Amino acid sequence: MSTTEEPTLRNYVRRFRDDRGWSQQELADRTGLSRTGIGAIESGRLVPSTSAALALAAAFGCKVEDVFVLEADVDSSRWAWPPATVPSRFWTAQGLSGKLLYPVEPNPLGLVAHDGIFQEDRLELHTEQDPRSTIVVASCDPAVGLLADEYQRQTGYRMLCLGRSSREALDLLRDDVVHAAGIHVADHTPLDDNAHYGQHALNRPFYLLHVAEWLEGLSSSETVTAGAMSPAQLKRKRWVAREEGAAARKLFDEYTDSKVRPVFTAYDHRGVAAAIKRGIADIGVSLKLVSDESGLGFYTLREAMYDLCIDARLVEDPRMQALIKVVQSTQYSRALRELPGYNTQNTGLLRSLP
**Band (8; pLDDT cuts 50, 70, 90):** low
Element (H, E) at 271: helix 269-277
pLDDT of 328 strictly over 90: yes
| Alpha carbon distances (Å) from 169 to 174, 183, 277, 336 | 9, 8, 27, 21
Enter the DSSP assignment of 156. S
**Band (62; pLDDT cuts 50, 70, 90):** confident
pLDDT of 86 strictly over 90: no
User: Which tens digits make up the pLDDT trace of 108-141?
Assistant: 778 888 999 988 778 888 777 788 999 999 999 9
pLDDT of 164 strictly over 80: yes
Q: Which sequence spans correspond to the domains of the chain?
A: 8-71
User: What per-residue confidence (pLDDT) applies to 141?
Assistant: 95
pLDDT of 179 strictly over 50: yes
CATH-assigned architecture of domain 8-71: Orthogonal Bundle (1.10)
pLDDT of 318 strictly over 50: yes
Q: Are 180 and 135 in contact, with CB atoms under 8 Å apart?
A: yes
Strands 116-119 and 122-125: antiparallel
pLDDT of 59 strictly over 50: yes
User: What per-residue confidence (pLDDT) applies to 317?
Assistant: 93
The model carries a pTM of 0.77
Enter the DSSP assignment of 313. G
User: What per-residue confidence (pLDDT) applies to 264?
Assistant: 96
pLDDT of 73 strictly over 50: no
User: Which tens digits make up the pLDDT trace of 185-194?
Assistant: 865 555 567 8
User: What per-residue confidence (pLDDT) applies to 4?
Assistant: 40
**Band (44; pLDDT cuts 50, 70, 90):** confident
User: What per-residue confidence (pLDDT) applies to 67?
Assistant: 85
Report CA Rg, the chain: 23
pLDDT of 220 strictly over 70: yes
Which residues are registered as beta bridge partners of 138? 162, 181
User: What per-residue confidence (pLDDT) applies to 75?
Assistant: 47
| Alpha carbon distances (Å) from 102 to 78, 84, 93, 114, 309 | 9, 11, 8, 10, 20
